[in-house]
Structure 1
């Protein structure tokens, strides 16, 4: 890997545009927060710093970024220099390599960090995140109360008109998700899906799968088959060819795990803060093939440990299928480098 490699960080965003990855923001404890843009070209295996003239948003972490109409829209986050939560929207134009602040209309979402943003038909949906009871803070007369505030309101920004609207969901709706931070969302089939997250006021990690349908302005809980990922936060998820790939994150010490989660840690390491760094990979298939369903059925009926997979099926299943099934029940070899992040970092 060559070029100008970004320093190690968390709380940044990474988006794909024209086959390249663009990383912006984030921080670490040695260098602080960043507002540089880095581009990664997978074909050349090369990094470069994107040269930008003019205005650049303040350094931050815990923001979100989405791509729409050849532009990247950044919302929220925690600004390091002013020590404030943000509720501003910034736009980066890939064609001109310039930043601007988007002047929106109506009341924007509360100041926050570690929320999520997803785009459906030119509308950006903001959910969750963490703020402070004193609001954005950053004012010389206000101080952080250290009392987290979690918002469960779903907000939508029309990226063409710049108008914010609150999605009016009945407060007594049985499937309305509660506030949380460090969850993940993705879009499939014109709907937004949400998994995981953490509610600091109750010290609860989640592993439900929610779905928001903008056509009916309603939430629902999706009942999926197979083994659920453990309750977690700080994970990532991406959609490719009808499948969602969910990787990593952190979960609490298994001995104090939330009832909804499993007590098994896959390749997990208990960090000094009592959190386990996860390196497990889960796949959610929206349209599983008959082959996939058949393999899952065999695995369920077999009930054999992964190291006995080949011998158990040696005379019944072709070698290539045995290997696929073996991979489905074998932990990956991604190793977490020793983590010293604390519980407050997202």
Structure 2
């Protein structure tokens, strides 16, 4: 018994180790979804925040002037909405770029930015009521940070922390906090190893820590990483010597935290280079990993935008490519970028059919800096940005938690249930005509045909062709498998589909036992079909039960799917809580 328990424990540990590795891998496997819109602003160095299923884009530079426009992307319809302010036009903020926007409840706090006149960088604070669309210029007290441009800002408890960046003349490394109740500024006197001065860096918040990465120090671009402990007010540099791999030095990138993981995209490098790579940093092990971005191959709305077009259907691969063509026809992209998009259309078959897993498409993601990156559920929306003189009029969505897919493929083009061969095959199920093998269950006989079963299952083929005792026997006694389970599997093979009685359709225990026996006989096609059937039966009420049974039967796809579904529910609950707090 001790030996059996030890064996079980080792098996269970192996399963959980496998799940952990899959979870680590899925964080670096990202699907690219994208659409092109004529209303999408062609800007860089703007700000973006999420509020109630909308992304609010403010300000930015369009290659000619600073803007003070507000663009609103409805994430349900993917339509850009035109705001109607409650203010007169002379009460709106001046046009600016390089500012920051932070959302707290139903207010968007806009801090600083380059306004291009006078002292150039602003020290103003504007607040937009996102429900009333009313701007207010706020008066503050205390030790203000002064003019700030290309800085970063993060909300923590009842304060907004600003790591200043530049003022248009020089670079800083000072940290200031704004109490959003009293509107009093304080300069944070922090201990530890503070970052050297910089601007155009990136930051994000995880728990009680602000992370600062990269930027421009006036002479060179950086790729160092620091964190500020907001409880202890202490800086720590994360040692690069420990990194196995790391992103190149850059500025103008964007970072965001998801489930205590940092994602970073894009940025500008030295000698006019620009990046289109997506990186992941895990604070638990202090390691960077570059993500593998592939084109979304699924038409499933769970794995795409929700309601992207007016019909409510998700934007799939075909529509994605059509949108690229339409964008080029309408002149939405500069001429040198049209070539890349046409190459994407020309090479779409390669994208879709590289070892069945999709081809990495970092080369098709336009390099950019000065863009924004906003999280909605499991999607990172990357909007605007530029590469040199090229300003992008598109937005991209990267699915950082794509729906798990069954990795075993089979060709159903010639084996569909409507095919004449399989239609005719049905009549031979449990039919003694031409039968050359019988399965016995305590005296009850099931008639079958060796050639058919050998084609359908690897174990059957081995049993009947490699000189095993069953090779020369016409009657095979089945032990340790329930008769109804074995009959379901054999009938399903003859019918080319999962054949269940009405009362068996929702029986999870029965289906998992069918799955176990299919795995035992290496019937890959049935393994797929049974898992798909179980997946269709999963609800919020039974998901925990299905997960436990999937662990028990080592059904790796169903384990991944249940964990994914639980995360999706968590995303939805988190958004609902945020929306409820602002009502």
RMSD: 2.8
Aligned residue among 161, 169, 179 for 2:147: 179
| Partner Cα distance (2:137, 2:230) in 1 | 29
Aligned residue among 263, 271, 278 for 1:340: 271
Q: Is the 8 A contact 1:59 1:79 kept in 2?
A: yes
Q: CA deviation at 1:85?
A: 1.4
Aligned residue among 23, 45, 49 for 2:30: 45
What SS does structure 1 have at the residue aligned with 2:161? strand
1:46-82: CA deviation from partner (whole Å, max 9, x where unpaired): 2121355xx61431111110111111000000123xx
What SS does structure 1 have at the residue aligned with 2:204? strand
| Partner Cα distance (2:45, 2:248) in 1 | 24
What SS does structure 2 have at the residue aligned with 1:156? strand
Q: Is 2:71 the partner of 1:109?
A: no
Alpha-carbon spacing, 1:168–1:208, altered in 2? closer, same or farther (3 Å)? same
| Partner Cα distance (2:86, 2:69) in 1 | 11
The structure in which a higher percent of residues are strand is 1
Q: Is the 8 A contact 1:280 1:331 kept in 2?
A: no
Aligned residue among 205, 210, 213 for 1:247: 213
Match of 1:168 in 2: 139
What SS does structure 2 have at the residue aligned with 1:216? coil
Match of 2:75 in 1: 94
Residue correspondence of structure 1 range 20-35 to structure 2 within 5 A = none
Alpha-carbon spacing, 1:184–1:223, altered in 2? closer, same or farther (3 Å)? same
Q: Is the 8 A contact 1:251 1:277 kept in 2?
A: yes
Q: Is 2:68 the partner of 1:124?
A: no
Q: Is 2:188 the partner of 1:222?
A: yes
Q: CA deviation at 1:340?
A: 2.7
Q: Is the 8 A contact 2:108 2:129 kept in 1?
A: yes
Alpha-carbon spacing, 1:169–1:286, altered in 2? closer, same or farther (3 Å)? closer
* Structure 1 unpaired stretches of 5+: 1-40, 134-146, 253-274, 297-324
What SS does structure 2 have at the residue aligned with 1:149? coil
Say which one has the larger Rg: 2
| Partner Cα distance (2:248, 2:41) in 1 | 33
Q: CA deviation at 1:195?
A: 0.2
| Partner Cα distance (1:71, 1:51) in 2 | 17
The structure in which a higher percent of residues are helix is 2
Question: Structure 1-normalised TM-score?
Answer: 0.59
Residue correspondence of structure 1 range 185-334 to structure 2 within 5 A = 185-200=153-168, 203-252=169-218, 275-287=219-231, 328=239, 330=241, 332=243, 333-334=246-247
Match of 1:25 in 2: none
1:248-307: CA deviation from partner (whole Å, max 9, x where unpaired): 00102xxxxxxxxxxxxxxxxxxxxxx21110000112346xxx99xx9xxxxxxxxxxx
Structure with more relative contact order (C-alpha pairs < 8 Å, separation 6 or more): 2
Q: CA deviation at 1:150?
A: 1.9
Question: Structure 2-normalised TM-score?
Answer: 0.36
| Partner Cα distance (2:148, 2:170) in 1 | 9
| Partner Cα distance (1:132, 1:328) in 2 | 38
Q: CA deviation at 1:44?
A: 4.3
Match of 2:54 in 1: 71
Aligned residue among 139, 147, 155 for 2:126: 155
Q: CA deviation at 1:215?
A: 0.4
Q: Is the 8 A contact 1:244 1:285 kept in 2?
A: yes
| Partner Cα distance (2:271, 2:206) in 1 | 32
Alpha-carbon spacing, 1:64–1:128, altered in 2? closer, same or farther (3 Å)? same
| Partner Cα distance (2:272, 2:106) in 1 | 36
Match of 2:42 in 1: 59
Q: Is the 8 A contact 2:165 2:199 kept in 1?
A: yes
Alpha-carbon spacing, 1:109–1:331, altered in 2? closer, same or farther (3 Å)? farther
Q: Is the 8 A contact 2:122 2:149 kept in 1?
A: no
Q: Is the 8 A contact 2:68 2:93 kept in 1?
A: yes
Q: Is the 8 A contact 2:145 2:164 kept in 1?
A: no
Equivalenced residue count is 226
| Partner Cα distance (1:177, 1:165) in 2 | 20
| Partner Cα distance (1:151, 1:63) in 2 | 15
What SS does structure 2 have at the residue aligned with 1:84? coil
* Structure 2 unpaired stretches of 5+: 1-25, 251-268, 274-368, 371-583
Q: Is the 8 A contact 1:127 1:155 kept in 2?
A: yes
| Partner Cα distance (1:43, 1:277) in 2 | 25
Q: CA deviation at 1:328?
A: 4.5
